[in-house]
Amino acid sequence: MRENQGRTAPHSAFGSNVVSKPKGLSLRASVSTAEGTELDAIRKYSEVVPDTVIFDDFERFPPTAATVSSSLLLGITSVPKGSYNGAIDSALAYNKCYVENSGERLSCFLNKALVNVGAELVKSVPGRVSTEVDARLAYDTPGIVNEVHELLRMYDEVEVPRDRLLFKIPATWQGIEATRQLETEGIQTHVSLVYSFAQASAAAQAGASVIQIFVGRVRDWARTNSGDKDVDAALASGADPGIALVTKSYNYIHKYGHKSKLMAAAVRNKQDVFSLLGLDYLIVPVKVLLSLKESKADLEDKYAFARRLSPSTAQNATFSEQEIQKWDQGTFAKALGPLAEDLLRRGLDGYINNTERVEEHFSKIWPPPNV
């Protein structure tokens, strides 16, 4: 998530975060455009999601879905008397969390706070709300499954329908195995921190409902690092490594009949958008959205507005025997590559840091005066 100077809002499960005004909550939004703009032309092929944590941006782009995360909770707690502070206060008064072990108590408070905020967001958006699973469990399959079951139990208590929920799980092997089990149970998952074809295809094989790839982060890594086989191959062919990863993953999902929807995050500019037309979800910075909205579409420019990704063209894609194999932990680890290993580790470190900051804050304000 980016640093911001102004009023902030929740971030999106499919894109940006939004609350009553802090940072951290992801909100997927539908964008109203006048006919004839570039944005209007693009939305014929892909759902566009504003990538922002500035609350005022959602006045212009009303959210249709959201992600609730530790980052969002930090944003909420930074705004005294904000709209979602009551959800935090009631989480700290949840008596089922009043256990002797302080670590278990704080973890329970964290989960209850995520659920309380998530339940409020479900009332505010027509789409699904994705709830972040504790990243400290990233390498613990039973731990992730148990955590999701506990979150679901809490959502059931406040009568949130399960079809309105996703659970955001990191793309470690253990996270993907947890995804497989949860999807078998009918629980929808959102696999994130995907930086390699091995992660994307393994998540698709596991039946993930949504798979999120960070296009710009892949490109950034490639500019300052080398030695990753897939990145080197993309660069040698003249392709952008981030665009190439999304394209390959999309083609794999559609050629082999997987149900997963694919999302591109960290989209940086108009050319990224044009290069990924047809993808299920495009998470686009507001400054790029505004440029697209203010630009008249030249529909004679068939290159700019041609659909690049479609289920039919995916049938022409070719894959090696290794790429279409059923992944196991050993082959997955070998195929991950230095880029994915590096960015996955960094992403997990960031999530864990946010989680521990939230718990530290809760430890300072609990017990409340009447407890």
* CATH value at residue 259: 3.20.20.70
Residue 4 has pLDDT above 80, yes or no: no
Residue 249 has pLDDT above 90, yes or no: yes
CA dist., res. 28 & res. 42, Å (int): 16
**How does pLDDT run across 316-364, given as a tens digit for each residue?**
999 999 999 999 999 999 999 999 999 999 999 999 999 999 999 999 9
How would DSSP label each residue in 88-100? HHHHHT-GGG--S
Average pLDDT over residues 273-287: 91
- The boundaries of the domain holding residue 289 are 44-365
Q: Which of 57-66, 141-150, 262-271 has the highest mean pLDDT?
A: 141-150
Residue 148 lies in a domain: yes
Provide, for the chain, the percentages of residues in helix, strand and coil under a 3-state DSSP scheme, each rounded to the nearest 5.
50, 15, 35
Residue 11 lies in a domain: no
Residue 244 lies in a domain: yes
Query: What would the two tokens of residue 212 be?
Result: 């999120």
User: 3-class SS at 59?
Assistant: helix
Percent of the chain exceeding pLDDT 70 equals 84
**How does pLDDT run across 66-93, given as a tens digit for each residue?**
889 999 899 888 887 777 889 999 999 9
**How does pLDDT run across 191-243, given as a tens digit for each residue?**
999 999 999 999 999 999 999 999 999 999 999 999 999 999 999 999 999 99
Q: For residue 225, which of 137, 346, 316 has the smallest C-alpha distance?
A: 346
Residue 260 has pLDDT above 60, yes or no: yes
Query: Which residue in the list 21, 23, 112, 168 is annotated as catalytic?
Result: 168
Residue 56 has pLDDT above 60, yes or no: no
Its pTM stands at 0.87
If one counts the domains in the chain, the total is 1
Residue 6 lies in a domain: no
Residue 301 lies in a domain: yes
What's the confidence (pLDDT) of residue 144?
98
What's the confidence (pLDDT) of residue 31?
42
What's the confidence (pLDDT) of residue 75?
87
Residue 57 lies in a domain: yes
**How does pLDDT run across 135-147, given as a tens digit for each residue?**
999 999 999 999 9
Strands 129-132, 189-194: pairing is unpaired
Percent of the chain exceeding pLDDT 90 equals 68
**How does pLDDT run across 31-51, given as a tens digit for each residue?**
443 458 888 888 889 988 777
Going by pLDDT thresholds of 50, 70 and 90, the confidence category of residue 306 is confident
What's the confidence (pLDDT) of residue 19?
42
Residue 326 lies in a domain: yes
What's the confidence (pLDDT) of residue 302?
54
What's the confidence (pLDDT) of residue 299?
64
Q: What is the mean pLDDT of the chain?
A: 87
Residue 356 CB contacts under 8 Å (≥ 6 apart), including other chains = none
CA dist., res. 109 & res. 170, Å (int): 21
Going by pLDDT thresholds of 50, 70 and 90, the confidence category of residue 57 is low
Residue 18 has pLDDT above 50, yes or no: no
Residue 160 lies in a domain: yes
Q: For residue 22, which of 134, 126, 113 has the smallest C-alpha distance?
A: 113
Active-site residue flag, 326: no
**How does pLDDT run across 174-197, given as a tens digit for each residue?**
999 999 999 999 999 999 999 999
Task: Say if residues 60 and 47 touch (Cβ distance below 8 Å).
Answer: no
